[in-house]
């Protein structure tokens, strides 16, 4: 009998040719199929079945692992690393940390240090284990073997989670994270996961560096790109982070809808539902406190309005103020006469009648009433921790930016107005302009699952 071995074809003189598939190829197809099942789950299941997704993936994972048992002891030189990598990747398909995944992937990178995919999977494994330092080492270790989108975007994530000694280092990490995410997107502009991470990097920049609306617009642009990818738009954390950005853009209806989408995609994740409930309560409180003028008694409200004195407008009392070398005229305007958007060369003046409790530090929200008894909300960004205003304070706001919030949602009708203040240093409180010590960037509450 003569046998000629040529890759996958084995010819035998005693019988017809038999096609034998390389086990690595067979296992790769099986693992790819597993990940396709996970990533395209909602193309084959209705959203109401989301509660079953994790269990269904666990079942598919076990079926895939059974395929590996067929090749137990597979020891062809040069392929063991890929075998361990594929099996480790199979365990890694679920959100939770599985020790076997770490063990197998560690073997893979030891046997083949240039196996980039194994480094990335091992980094993901450490990420789930909350070992940020080791996760970073894996992603950094993969890059010398080839710039790739997975290592780059994951580095963007770990830099945001890395423990640092000071705020300057935190800022540097955030900026570097943005650059890594940009590079990942540039390598594959169709990958929604990379766009998601870029959006998250911009969102972290908004909170850590400066609460600049332009940064939020970049963030939203990235999320919109991510939603074009069928895989990315099935991920609950995309909509959770999008909702967070929308909230700070004060696009409240869209934020509520995005939070709702997040917990619909993963009913087992409590955070989006909690944030949704918090925002709904905040909006109800704002509307109720505006309509009731802070729930002040009529006599108390009248006394506060009578106590309004234009001298408490400070530098704005004379109808103009100087900004650098530029003098800007200001006309005292009733709250009810404000137009939507930026009210150039206008100033409003009134009393604080209440502040609104918010589970998040940003924005600081209070209600003010003017001499005509008109009342609206004021949202202040970039306010230092522990700072704010108190009931009875006199407030002057130059060139106010007004938004009229009018929408229906979940059997609730919202109709109220608010002024957005990007920096507290433009405010005059009781005749004094607030100093730079009142300004600071807030810290984003980080949920590792949504990073």
- CB-based contacts of 298, cutoff 8 Å, min separation 6: none
pLDDT tens-place string over residues 347-381: 999 999 999 988 777 789 999 999 999 999 999 98
pLDDT of residue 35: 98
Is residue 208's pLDDT more than 50? yes
Distance separating alpha carbons of residues 345 and 61, to the nearest angstrom: 64
What's the mean pLDDT in 104-132?
96
pLDDT of residue 12: 40
Is residue 341's pLDDT more than 70? yes
What's the mean pLDDT in 421-427?
91
What sign has the CA pseudo-torsion 371, 372, 376, 380? Answer: negative
Tracing tokens 């770990």 back to the chain, one arrives at 158
pLDDT of residue 303: 95
Tracing tokens 């199979």 back to the chain, one arrives at 90
Report H helices in 40-95.
41-44, 53-69, 80-91
Strand partners for 342: 401
Is residue 442's pLDDT more than 90? no
CA atoms within 13 A on the CB side of 75: 1
pLDDT of residue 437: 67
Least confident window among 116-125, 367-376, 384-393 = 384-393
Instruction: Please classify residue 332 by burial: count the beta carbons closer than 10 Å to its beta carbon, then call 0-12 exposed, 13-18 middle and 19+ buried.
Output: middle
Strand partners for 5: 10
Is residue 8's pLDDT more than 60? no
Is residue 15's pLDDT more than 90? no
pLDDT tens-place string over residues 283-313: 999 999 999 999 999 999 999 999 999 999 9
pLDDT of residue 207: 85
Tracing tokens 């361990």 back to the chain, one arrives at 84
Mean pLDDT computed over every residue of the chain:
90
Q: What is the DSSP letter of 327?
A: E
What's the mean pLDDT in 156-165?
93
What's the mean pLDDT in 10-17?
43
pLDDT of residue 21: 65
pLDDT of residue 445: 46
Strand partners for 365: 356, 379
Most confident of 18-32, 93-107, 201-215: 93-107
Distance separating alpha carbons of residues 31 and 92, to the nearest angstrom: 11
Do the bridges between strand 375-380 and strand 412-421 make them parallel or antiparallel, or are there none, so unpaired? Answer: parallel
CA nearest to 378, candidates 358, 399, 401: 401
pLDDT of residue 2: 36
Comparing 227 with 18, which gets the higher pLDDT? 227
- pLDDT bucket at 20, cuts 50 / 70 / 90: low
Do 206 and 242 contact (CB within 8 A), yes or no? no
Least confident window among 13-17, 113-117, 127-131, 306-310 = 13-17
Report H helices in 162-266.
167-187, 192-208, 213-226, 236-248, 252-265
pLDDT of residue 450: 47
pLDDT tens-place string over residues 242-258: 999 999 999 999 999 99
CA angle, corner 75, sides to 70 and 78, nearest 5? 125
- pLDDT bucket at 77, cuts 50 / 70 / 90: low
Comparing 283 with 437, which gets the higher pLDDT? 283
Least confident window among 4-13, 180-189, 424-433 = 4-13
Is residue 177's pLDDT more than 90? yes
pLDDT of residue 451: 63
Do 244 and 278 contact (CB within 8 A), yes or no? no
Residue 376 backbone dihedrals phi, psi, to 5 degrees: -150, 170
Distance separating alpha carbons of residues 159 and 184, to the nearest angstrom: 15
Strand partners for 409: 412
- CB-based contacts of 127, cutoff 8 Å, min separation 6: 135, 154, 157, 158, 448
Q: What is the DSSP letter of 23?
A: H
What's the mean pLDDT in 96-125?
97
- CB-based contacts of 323, cutoff 8 Å, min separation 6: none
Distance separating alpha carbons of residues 356 and 353, to the nearest angstrom: 10
């Amino acid at each position: 009998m003569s046998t000629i071995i040529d890759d996958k074809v084995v010819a035998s003189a005693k019988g017809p040719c038999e096609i034998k598939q390389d086990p690595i190829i067979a296992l790769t197809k099986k693992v790819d199929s597993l990940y396709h099942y996970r990533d395209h789950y909602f193309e084959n299941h209705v959203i109401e079945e989301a509660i079953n997704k994790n269990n269904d993936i666990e079942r598919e994972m076990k079926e895939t692992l059974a395929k590996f048992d067929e090749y137990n002891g597979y020891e062809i030189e040069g392929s063991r690393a890929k075998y361990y990598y594929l099996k480790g990747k199979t365990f890694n398909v679920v959100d939770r940390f599985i020790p076997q995944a770490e063990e197998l992937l560690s073997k893979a990178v030891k046997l083949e240090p240039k196996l980039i995919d194994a480094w990335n999977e091992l980094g993901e494994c450490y990420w789930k284990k909350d070992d940020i330092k080791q996760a970073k080492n894996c992603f950094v270790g993969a890059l010398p073997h080839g710039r790739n989108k997975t290592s780059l975007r994951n580095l963007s994530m770990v830099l945001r989670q890395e423990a640092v000694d000071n705020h300057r280092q935190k800022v540097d990490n955030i900026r570097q994270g943005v650059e890594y995410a940009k590079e990942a997107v540039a390598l594959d502009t169709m990958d929604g996961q990379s766009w998601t991470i870029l959006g998250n990097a911009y969102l972290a920049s908004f909170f850590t560096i400066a609460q600049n609306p332009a940064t939020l617009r970049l963030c939203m642009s990235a999320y919109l790109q991510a939603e074009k990818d069928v895989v990315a738009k099935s991920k609950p954390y995309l909509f959770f982070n999008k909702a967070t950005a929308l909230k700070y853009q004060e696009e409240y209806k869209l934020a509520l809808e995005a939070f709702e989408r997040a917990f619909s995609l993963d009913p087992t994740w409590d955070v989006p539902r909690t944030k949704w409930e918090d925002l709904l309560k905040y909006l109800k409180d704002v509307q109720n406190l505006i309509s009731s003028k802070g729930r002040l008694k009529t006599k108390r409200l009248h006394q506060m309005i009578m106590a309004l004195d234009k001298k408490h407008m400070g530098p704005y009392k004379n109808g103009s103020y100087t900004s650098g070398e530029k003098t800007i005229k200001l006309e005292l305007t009733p709250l009810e006469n404000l137009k939507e958007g930026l009210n150039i060369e206008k100033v409003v003046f009134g009393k604080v009648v209440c502040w609104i409790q918010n589970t998040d530090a940003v924005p600081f929200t209070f209600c003010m009433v003017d001499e005509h008894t008109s009342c609206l909300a004021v949202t202040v960004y970039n306010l230092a921790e522990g700072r704010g205003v108190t009931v009875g304070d006199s407030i002057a706001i130059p060139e106010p930016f007004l938004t009229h919030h009018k929408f229906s949602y979940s059997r609730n009708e919202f109709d109220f107005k608010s002024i957005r203040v990007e920096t507290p240093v433009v405010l005059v409180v009781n005749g004094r302009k607030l100093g730079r010590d009142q300004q600071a960037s807030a810290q984003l509450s980080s949920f590792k699952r949504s990073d």
